[in-house]
Amino acid sequence: MTDYRIEKDSLGEVKVPKDVYWGAQTQRAIENFPISGEVFESGFIRALGIIKKSAAKANGELGFLEQKVVEAIVLAADEVISGELVDQFQVDVFQTGSGTSSNMNANEVIANRACEIVGEDIGSKVIHPNDHVNFGQSSNDIIPTAMHVSALESIDKEVVPALEILKSALEKKEKEFSGVVKTGRTHLQDATPITLGQEFGGYKTQIEKGIKRLENVRSSLAELPIGGTAVGTGLNMHPEFPKIASKYISEETGISFREAIDHFEAQAAHDAMSEAHAALRVVAGSMNKIANDLRLLASGPRNGLGEIKQPENQPGSSIMPGKINPVMAEAVNQVHKRVIGNDMTIAYGAAEGQLELNLYKPILANDFLNSTKIISNVAVVFAEKFIDLLNANKEKCENQVEWSMALATSLSPHIGYDKAAKIAKEAYVNEKTVREVAIEMGEISEADADDMLDARRMTKPGILESEE
């Protein structure tokens, strides 16, 4: 049987499990919202700890909190930041739209732990969740501040480093496969030659540009709503508080944050979150395209394209012995679909603010961090367990390209489109190479064919001429 203690809030007494740090308002929220069983990502909890620590230091500096209280709050907040108290945050993501329940969860946990630190009883409110931990703050500015802090931390410290690993893996394959000439394809039909290295170079550039897109949204996320309090006016807050608190948040995270230009915009709308997640959606789409291409190139191994050899990560079938599937690429595909779903939620939520407050803060925060987590994780495993282990089937690539009717393209500048098309069709119908038919029809000599139908030369810009 669970032992309880009695805590009070403005509505009266509440039974709270004796061995937890949360208080009455958190307990009410746990009981009010048994909806999904899903609690906030750890990065968001960490951000709340950073903000409460920074706020306490700022209020101490401004003379609103005694140093003893500041020190206790800081120590308690440090435990939240480190993850030691993550199990104390059990409020469902689907809660009040302002995130008040989670703000109070942080206030109560930190206050009760701080009470314990100074030698007082949990629930004594010697260090008060509202009067001390939440001084000069409102859920309406603190939750969106945590949204920005956690979003930018996750991008800077998780997503970008993971994408750099993926980019590096693709760049290595770009160099490794630079000498492998193969058939290019458009509309999934044979097209002019390309090198396998050029294909991988394109993939590398996609990820490279994705990283730049994420860098471009940093400035918007670096603006912090803290200091707006209830509706953006800053009531019950010292005018210097947001600047000082932002300084401490920057020191704690190693990221340069600043006070929002307009607090009314910062609390009523979450365009920055929508903008930043759009960049994540593009990154996920890039990885999805790459994964799909590699699945096609590795298809077979005997009756598909088979131009690359995929790693054997695990047995592919419960009924077909020896079958190997592109499981890592398929994981990327599934992450992309989840990110698209998250993006839809965030786009709708960010656009649905009413007057001075957007009321979709919890789901915006959580789905954003879900995207950063799964993108980061899948980028690393995709790089290390799939791309790093790919090998080129050079012989097959080169044999296939010699049989491509698209080689006739290089003849067009010399003999005209119609004659080149006739050569290509004859080659297909009679199961011959373009080279064989072009020589047989007397359009080019064997010597000219060596130069004008050189697949490797076709992978570079220019009009192929005979070198004789």
Residues with catalytic function: 187, 317
- Joined together, the tokens standing for residue 20 give 């937890």
Whether the Cβ atoms of residue 64 and residue 238 lie closer than 8 Å to each other: yes
- Joined together, the tokens standing for residue 258 give 């600043």
**Strand blocks (E) in 389-465:** 391-392
Rounded Cα–Cα distance for residues 107 and 148 (Å)? 19
Whether the Cβ atoms of residue 158 and residue 214 lie closer than 8 Å to each other: no
CB count in 10 Å sphere of residue 251: 13
Element (H, E) at 79: helix 67-82
Whether the Cβ atoms of residue 386 and residue 377 lie closer than 8 Å to each other: no
Pairing of strands 223-224, 258-259: parallel
Closest CA to 148 of 277, 14, 311, 37: 277
Give the three-state DSSP class for 25. helix
- Joined together, the tokens standing for residue 356 give 């001075």
Residue 105: half-sphere exposure toward Cβ, Cα within 13 Å: 29
Radius of gyration of the chain from its Cα atoms, rounded to whole angstroms: 30
